[in-house]
Amino acid sequence: MFKGSGVALVTPFNEDLTVNYKKMEELVDYHCENKTDALIILGTTGESSTLDDEEKEKIVKVVIEKNQKRLPIIVGAGSNDTKHAIELSKKYEQLGADGLLLVTPYYNKGNEDGIYKHYVSIADFVNIPIILYNVPGRTGVNLSVSLLKRLAKHKNIVGLKEASGDISYAAEVAREVPELLMYSGNDDITVPLMSLGAVGTISVLANIEPAVTHNIVECYLNGDVIESRRLQLKYNGLVKALFV
């Protein structure tokens, strides 16, 4: 997939609440020019829950066309409706997505077998890599370590965006399921997760500080832990302000 800072790209809107596709193109150029390592579109920060399918498809087309293969593009295709998630995933693959981000099915709060079948059903229908998205604070469901071990056996399930905020859980995942590439889903603990083996972040902060977010990860991966930690602590105040 990618190592480094993947921006959880915002979806800009016009005053009349239509998507501002021109600004979206500008954001793609901005991130290509400012050290971002991957574009993650149609995630939580990208307003995926409030966009209709037509808007989503056009956003994917616009971003892929503007990007011109400069950066990997990972598209959020998650849903609590398995059939809908399969349809979206197939469409985004056909449009040229490099990978998919699939949030844990929400609201229904499925059991382990149900969630396993949900994810594997999607993974069976595509031929591009999948990053699972664990965010129990929003979905009401936490992906257990035993479930992740089962899911990681599928050839297309390669990563985990870990946004539980639970360091102990992340450590257990890193120990028990090392084959899954871990990405921090919380900007304030990117460095702690990298100390456990995470290879990068899917970042909200990168929308406004792309170079800094890239440097936090790059410095750590290059062995300059002190500088990485300094940047993490320096910008945690800004991270906190973003989520107030």
Active-site option among 133, 183, 220, 235: 133
**147's tokens:** 């479930």
Helix (H, G, I), strand (E, B), or coil: what is residue 235?
A: helix
User: What are all long-range contacts of 198-202, with beta carbons under 8 Å and residues at least 24 apart?
Assistant: 198/162, 198/170, 198/174, 199/3, 199/4, 200/2, 200/3, 200/4, 200/5, 200/6, 200/37, 201/4, 201/5, 201/6, 202/6, 202/7, 202/8, 202/40, 202/43, 202/101, 202/131, 202/161
Respond yes or no: is residue 133 known to be catalytic.
Answer: yes
Q: Say how far apart CA 40 and CA 227 lie, in whole Å.
A: 26
User: What is each CA distance from 56 to 31, 46, 108, 149, in whole angstroms?
Assistant: 20, 10, 23, 31
The count of residues in the chain is 244
Q: Which two tokens stand for residue 140?
A: 């009401």
H/E segment holding residue 237: helix 225-242
By the 8 A CB rule, do 22 and 60 touch?
A: no
Active site residue 220: no
| Alpha carbons 241 and 236: distance in angstroms, whole number | 9
Q: Which position among 21, 56, 92, 161 bears the catalytic label?
A: 161
Residue 79 · residue 108 · CB < 8 Å: no
Catalytic center residues: 133, 161
